Amino acid sequence: MVPTRWRPPHKVSSVQQCIRDTFQQQVIGYGGCVEWPPRSPDLNPLDIFLWGYIKQRVYAIHPPTLQELRNRITDARASLSPAMLYNVQREVQSRAQMVYC
């Protein structure tokens, strides 16, 4: 028996179809109407700083429950200052200009 190749859940055809049915022409990325380069550090919509900041706040101590995980994500998001978000937005715009101009 030949083993089947493992596919990440978000790339399974039934999941892709559900996403297309739900979001129609708004899907960006694999199988979407707008292709997005996979794992592109230049075009990552969420800056590495932002991911690191959120993860550091959420996982400083392992959340014991799913509800605690949700609470920490909400709290981490609420702790983002407008200046932090502005800097992230400016960085993403800068990368996009370098790639597309």
Please say whether the beta carbons of 54 and 76 come within 8 A.
yes
Q: What is the mean pLDDT of the chain?
A: 79
Distance, in Å, from the CA atom of 54 to the CA atom of 87, rounded to the nearest integer, reads: 15
Torsion of CA 91, 92, 97, 98, to 10 degrees: 70
pLDDT band at 79 (very low <50, low <70, confident <90, very high): very high
**Average pLDDT score over residue span 4-12:** 70
Segment 28-57, tens digit of pLDDT: 766 666 666 666 666 665 667 888 899 999
Model confidence pLDDT, tens digit, residues 9-28? 767 788 888 888 888 777 77
Question: pTM for the complete prediction?
Answer: 0.51
β-partners of residue 28 are 34
CA–CA separation, 28 and 23 (whole Å): 10
